[in-house]
Amino acid sequence: MPVTPQRARAPGPLLAVLAVALMAGLAGSIVLAVAVGANPLNATLLCGISLSYTVSGLIAWRRRPANRLGPLMIVTGFSSLTSMLYPSGNAVAHTIGQALDLLPLVFIVHVFLAFPTGRLAGRLERALMGIAYVAATGVQLAVMVLGGLEPHVLRLVEAPVLAQGIYQVELVLIGGVALTGVALLAGRRRAGERPPRRPLALMIGASALALVMIALLLLVGVFAELFFPTIQQISLAVLGLAPVAFLAGLLQARLARVSVGDLVVELRAEPADLRGPLARALRDPSLSLVYWLPKFGSWADQDGKPVELPADRTGVTPIEQDGKQVAALVHDPALTHEPELLEAVSAAAALALHTGRLQAELRANVEELRGSRARVIEAGQKERQRLERDLHDGAQQRLVALSLNLGMLQTRLDGDADARALLAQARDEVTISLAELRDIARGLHPAVLTAHGLAVALESLAARAPVPIRLTVELDDRLAEAVEVAAYYVVCESLANIGKHARASSATVDVTRVGDQLVVEVVDDGVGGADTESGSGLRGLADRVEAQGGRLRVWTPHGDGTRVRAEMPCG
């Protein structure tokens, strides 16, 4: 069974109580407001705001329990009910309503700036909200204490002019916060490194409009009493409608589940590329699907190449089978706000994962084998090189010195013919030993290749070839040693085969660089029909070439010569 991250559930009973409390509060508020003669349209709009935020908040909390946005919206919804106290005839109730008059607007600004995570993202956002909260509570109380916004029961000092001044500053502050919020939202939209997912874009648009209306409302309140009631009503309507955009976003997530249905159908066809359909279903082009390969103890992509999971695990959704981690989706961290979608998509992926995972494992195995073959060949080569060096600096050097001494002895020894003959014989023996050692050492490792490169080494090979060779080497620089050695042996072995089997009269050897590939081609005009499987050493050559990530091909039609072509990447 696929398992996705545990989803916390918001406490059901609490939500029910909140919903009932809201209904009661709303009904009571409207009745109360109409009874004391408040504007019924305003009362209804206020109730609409309260209803819209609280209900949206309840739904959000229910569906995204880990997200603070739901509770924040519920608080916003309930706080806007306190405005209903404002028209109350009761002095205390009226005072409370007056004191909390601007708080709901600040809450609304908070909701928009905290969307979609429910947290204020940056220091600037937090500072703005701090200013707004202080203005709406502390400054508001100060205004009232100084005798502003009468009538109420909080006046301690009679300084109405000062109070009015401070109040206007307060309104400008909150309006300014709202406008700065609009700028932040616009910036966030532009800076989004990923294309903003659709509900987010919609929500940002709605939030921006609502913030503009809040600012307009407050600033018109300060600078122009004109049309204030109309603007107030339009603002209230817009503010009430904004959460609907959020609901639309939620609905969009539901719609996404429909695309999961399409995904399942698509995956049933066992596509070679799982990632594409998954990325489409999640609407996340950056998505990657990685497999856990227990044998290697590492994560790998579809091609079996090892990958590291991002350090930030919020963008990683593991996929498990039988309680074991088998794969993971690496996605946009914002997708964690749509856990159902992630759950559905990863569940669908789990069904189709088997093939992809086997494929990744197979490719990783092939990669590993290729690597170990290259290492075995490399180690062998190094060992042979070391032996050649030991022979050269040891036995060969001493034998040369010995033959030199024998030669000098020969020049000084005169008279005894037997002794001279014995000496000459000894010198010949040493010379033969040296020749044999030379062949062995050269067979171990072509020292000339290491020291002087392919062109010089191949020239000597061609000179020793059994038939005339037209040699063309077009290389500007030295190549990696392993590549040079492989190329050398391709030519060496091919020429040896020509001598043994081809009955050719001539051959060509071409070594060129085509792009980042070294191409080695040996063509003879012999009888063809070479045995590519056994004895010819072609298998060993193919090993060498393939270990370098290249390939060896042999064309050997009967009666029409043999062509050996090796291509190896050479950086």
CA pair distance 478, 474, nearest whole angstrom = 11
Closer CB to another protein, residue 351 or residue 401?
401
Closer CB to another protein, residue 1 or residue 451?
451
H or E, element range at 228: helix 228-268
State the minimum distance, in angstroms, from the CB of residue 495 to another protein. Answer: 12
Closer CB to another protein, residue 254 or residue 438?
438
Residue 505 DSSP one-character state: S
Closer CB to another protein, residue 354 or residue 464?
464
Contact at 8 Å (CB) between 236 and 48?
Answer: yes
Length of the chain: 571
Burial class of 347 by CB neighbour count within 10 A (0 to 12, 13 to 18, 19+): middle
CA pair distance 351, 270, nearest whole angstrom = 10
State the minimum distance, in angstroms, from the CB of residue 391 to another protein. Answer: 9
Residue 293 is encoded by which pair of tokens?
């390969």
CA pair distance 433, 442, nearest whole angstrom = 14
Burial class of 70 by CB neighbour count within 10 A (0 to 12, 13 to 18, 19+): buried
Contact at 8 Å (CB) between 467 and 494?
Answer: no
Closer CB to another protein, residue 322 or residue 476?
476
Closer CB to another protein, residue 225 or residue 476?
476
Residue 467 DSSP one-character state: S
Closer CB to another protein, residue 443 or residue 540?
443
State the minimum distance, in angstroms, from the CB of residue 461 to another protein. Answer: 9
Closer CB to another protein, residue 129 or residue 507?
507
State the minimum distance, in angstroms, from the CB of residue 381 to another protein. Answer: 16
State the minimum distance, in angstroms, from the CB of residue 508 to another protein. Answer: 13
Q: What residue type is 496 in one-letter code?
A: A
Measured CA to CA in angstroms, residue 570 lies from 369, 456, 474, 487 at distances of 20, 19, 14, 11
Closer CB to another protein, residue 340 or residue 510?
510
State the minimum distance, in angstroms, from the CB of residue 501 to another protein. Answer: 15
Q: What DSSP assignment string belongs to 115-170?
A: TTTTS--SHHHHHHHHHHHHIIIIIHHHHHHTT-S-SSS---S--HHHHHHHHHHH
Closer CB to another protein, residue 457 or residue 570?
457
Q: Which residues bind another protein (CB under 8 A)?
A: 389, 392-393, 396-398, 400-401, 403-408, 410-411, 427, 430-431, 434-435, 438, 441-442, 447-448, 450-452, 455-460, 462-468, 505-506
State the minimum distance, in angstroms, from the CB of residue 532 to another protein. Answer: 25
State the minimum distance, in angstroms, from the CB of residue 406 to another protein. Answer: 6
CA pair distance 6, 340, nearest whole angstrom = 11
State the minimum distance, in angstroms, from the CB of residue 468 to another protein. Answer: 5
Instruction: For the sheet with 562-569, list strands across it.
Output: 469-474, 507-514, 517-524, 562-569, 551-555
State the minimum distance, in angstroms, from the CB of residue 446 to another protein. Answer: 9
CA pair distance 329, 315, nearest whole angstrom = 8
In 188-314, the DSSP E strands lie at: 288-293, 298-300, 306-307
Contact at 8 Å (CB) between 108 and 69?
Answer: no
H or E, element range at 319: strand 316-321
Contact at 8 Å (CB) between 562 and 526?
Answer: yes
Closer CB to another protein, residue 91 or residue 401?
401
State the minimum distance, in angstroms, from the CB of residue 456 to another protein. Answer: 3
Contacts 24+ apart (CB under 8 A), 448-456: 449/484, 449/485, 449/488, 450/385, 450/481, 453/478, 453/484, 454/478, 454/479, 454/484, 454/487, 454/488, 454/511, 455/511
CA pair distance 153, 165, nearest whole angstrom = 20
State the minimum distance, in angstroms, from the CB of residue 486 to another protein. Answer: 19
Closer CB to another protein, residue 44 or residue 396?
396
